[in-house]
Amino acid sequence: MGEHRIDTIEQLEALYGQPGKPSLVKEVGHVTSHYCAFIEASPFLALASVGEEGLDCSPRGDAPGFVRVQDEKTVLVPDRRGNNRIDTLRNIIRDPRVSLLFLIPGIGETLRINGRAEISADPALLHSFAVDGKAPRSVLVVTVESIYFLCQKALVRSKLWDPSTRIERSALPSTGRMLQELSREAFDGDAYDRAYPERLKQTIY
């Protein structure tokens, strides 16, 4: 990139100019009633963290309202069953900084929380998040430092919620096929794919 590389804040600001007033007004340090409504309507979020081993961004999802607003400075996120890599949780132990990006099907705006998280294994708290009698192993207690909505442009450009842009899952390699290739044929991809639907039902919570 040579001479066209941007590597100072001054160059960056000269290129982009100043943010508009609405983009500054929307950022606050607590969960407002309107922002609470977005959180309670969201069935999905991406959770970003950072630690000694690097960055992580992981999906989290459940029925709308699965993230609980405890008060205007605190949101609670249950850690449902996954693959036990626990990359996000390892990061939080080492560095509590997190960022959450909430999406709501059909809604163009997204909602972002920046804050700090701690991991709780309080039995009463875990029980309060139980689904079908199964509690999460832990709950993330996120202290909100800043929260704001992001405009619709990215979702409009991507046509994320437009049914006409959807593709069939079969148009892409299956998870079993990818695992088989990555393991250099030491993994039976077809068997994995056949067993996955039942395994998903048995391990969803």
For residue 36, the model assigns a pLDDT of 98
* Cβ–Cβ under 8 Å, residues 149 and 26: yes
For residue 156, the model assigns a pLDDT of 97
For residue 52, the model assigns a pLDDT of 87
pLDDT digits (tens, 9 = 90+) for 88-130: 999 999 999 999 999 999 999 999 999 999 999 999 999 999 9
pLDDT surpasses 90 at 1 = no
Which among 91, 79, 83, 93 is positioned nearest to 125, based on CA atoms?
79
pTM, rounded to two decimals = 0.94
* Cβ–Cβ under 8 Å, residues 51 and 94: yes
Which among 69, 76, 66, 78 is positioned nearest to 42, based on CA atoms?
66
**Average pLDDT of the residues of the chain:** 96
Backbone phi, psi, residue 87, to 5°: -60, -45
pLDDT digits (tens, 9 = 90+) for 179-198: 999 999 998 999 999 999 99
Domains located in the chain, CATH noted:
18-158 (2.30.110.10), 168-203 (no CATH)
Which among 151, 63, 48 is positioned nearest to 101, based on CA atoms?
48
Q: How far is CA 67 from CA 14, 25, 166, in A?
A: 39, 25, 27
